[in-house]
Each structure stands twice: as C-alpha cells, then as structure tokens.
Amino acid sequence: MSAGQRAGQANPGHVAIIMDGNGRWAQMRGLPRQEGHRRGLEALRGAVRNAGELGVKILTLYSFSTENWRRPATEVSFLLGLLKRFVEKDLGQLHAAGVRVRVIGGRDDLAADIRRLVEHAETVTRDNTRMTLVVAFNYGSRDEIVRAARQLATDAAAGRIDAAAIDEAMLASRLDTADLPDPELVIRTSGETRISNFLLWQAAYAEFVFTPVLWPDFDRAAFEEALAEYGRRERRFGGLSEPVDRAAGAA
C-alpha cells in the first residue's frame, strides 16, 4: 500500500472507467470534437500503461455505449474508425505486454469487419495473464441483462434449466462479464455524476469516484488520485464497520 492510503483499502484489482469529456476538451480549445476523441485515445493508451504499472489487474473502459448510436453519423463513424485503428495498431504491443483483451457488449448487430476484429483480438490474447483490458463497446447494461434473461428463458423453455433454480450466480454467468470479477472501483471523468447504463449489475457494491478532469487530461496523477480516494473509503457491503462488529460481539 502506498503512503497516503491510510484507511485500509488495498488497491483495487478491477477498475472500470467511464471515459467522458472528449467533446468538451476539444470545445474548450476551439477544436473539432474529433480532435477530442483523438486525444482521448492517447489517454486510453496511457491509462492501460498506468493501470499495469499501478498493479490494477483488470481495467474496463467504456468506449462506446448502446446509446452513443444516437450521435450524428459522422461522429459515430469517426469513433468506430478510431477504435478499429486502435485494435489494429496496438494489438501486437498489447499482446507483447501480456495483456488479455476482452470485449463486452452486443455483437450480433455489429458490422462483420468489426466483429471479426473483436474476435481476433480476443483469440490472439486469450492466454495472456499479466493484465486484462476489457473494452466495453456497443455496451449497455440493460441490453446485457436483457440478453442474459433471454438466454435463461430459452433454456428454461427447452427444459435445459429449471426456472426455479435461477439465482444471482446463474444470471451473472450469462452476462458478458461472466468470467470477470466485479469492479471494486468505477471512475467517471468530466464531472458528470451518472452511470449512463454502465455495469449496473456488476457495480452493485463498487466505490464511485467522480473527477472533474476531462478524459484527454486523465493522466497518471489523476489515476493515482482516484486510487487514493478509493483507499480512503470504507466498504461495508451492508454490514457494519469492524470496530462496531467487535463491540457487538463482546456485548
């Protein structure tokens, strides 16, 4: 534990980030929004590197939501192009660094070239163990839960499972994140304090850190500050804090 993290929370193993504020970053400088997204991609690369160096084993990045399709077609295609080029250009380097890439989000309605790229990135890196980079793309938590529910209903109707046996673990096993532990920390940049359909199920007990820093400016210091803030939190999971527990036990 680093100095300054007095309150007992070790660094989180899984950090999820809502990377927000690219547009405002550009607007403040009189630049087109696209420039903000370009700089946002640089920040994404930095975040992966910093996460690895700071001992974060799983980093989940919200890159494109199911609602982001509502943006103007020019912005949507720019964002898709940027992400495609990122995977094409950086995959080799990520693989060499021992990063396993996972992509969460709906796949069925994606363009064939993007789907192939996603599958390729996952296949190439699937045995890497140094760190896991989870890219949330065409991701929406409600869509994810609906897809899981549909699978369970189909299996129940076909007699493969007993509907009465559906529990939290079984539903979780049908989510895109089935093989991943829940995030301990969710960070959102740009000062917005909402969840925007991100990891609704998985973040049930996550700590949230909201920072005013715009995503392109989210550097090592900002990452460390968010981890330090997490370190100062007390997580109770519905129970009582430890000294109270002990007092109750002694009574």
Residue among 20, 50, 138, 176 flagged as catalytic:
20
Q: Does 66 bind ligand IPE (CB under 6 A)?
A: no
Looking at the DSSP assignment, which residues form a beta bridge with residue 208? 186
Q: How far is 187 from 201, CA to CA, in rounded Å?
A: 16
Partner interacting with residue 62 (select from Mg ion, ligand IPE, none; CB below 5-8 Å by kind): ligand IPE
- By residue count, the chain amounts to 251
Q: Within 10 A of 74 (CB to CB), how many other CB atoms are there? A: 10
11 is catalytic: no
Phi, psi of 60 (to 5 degrees): -110, 130
Binders of Mg ion among 3-62, rule CB under 5 A?
20
Find all residues with CB under 8 Å of 158, minimum gap 6, and list them.
Answer: none
18 binds ligand IPE (CB under 6 A): yes
Closest to ligand IPE by CB, 67 vs 88, is 67
Shortest CB 152 distance to Mg ion, Å: 33
194 binds ligand IPE (CB under 6 A): yes
- C-alpha 251, offset from chain centre: 43
Is 65 a binding residue for ligand IPE by CB under 6 A? The answer is yes
**Min separation Cβ 206 and ligand IPE, Å:** 16
CA distance 168 to 114: 32
Nearer to Mg ion, 20 or 176 (CB): 20
Q: What is the dihedral of CA 122, 84, 142, 149, to 10 degrees?
A: -40
CB 199 within 8 A of CB 12: no
155 phi, psi to nearest 5 deg: -65, -40
Q: Is 20 one of the binding residues for ligand IPE (CB under 6 A)?
A: yes
Please indicate whether residue 68 is annotated as part of the active site.
yes
Question: Least Å distance between CB 227 and ligand IPE?
Answer: 20
Rounded-to-integer distance, Cα 106 and Cα 42, Å: 25
Check binding of 173 to ligand IPE (CB under 6 A): no
- Closer CB to ligand IPE, residue 20 or residue 90? 20
Residues 216/22, Cβ–Cβ less than 8 Å = yes
Using the Cα atoms of residue 27, residue 28, residue 34 and residue 40 in order, give the sign of their dihedral: negative
Choose, from 11, 50, 68, 138, the residue flagged as catalytic. 68
219 token code pair = 């550097």
Binder among 11, 15, 16, 19 for ligand IPE (CB under 6 A)? 19
* 44 sits near ligand IPE (criterion: CB under 6 A): no
CB of 150 to ligand IPE, least distance (A): 24
Return the DSSP state at 144.
Answer: H
Minimum CB–partner distance for residue 214 and ligand IPE (Å)? 7
Active site residues: 20, 68
**Contact positions toward ligand IPE, by CB under 6 A?**
18-24, 40, 62-65, 68, 79, 190, 192, 194, 196, 215
Q: Which residues contact Mg ion (rule: CB under 5 A)?
A: 20
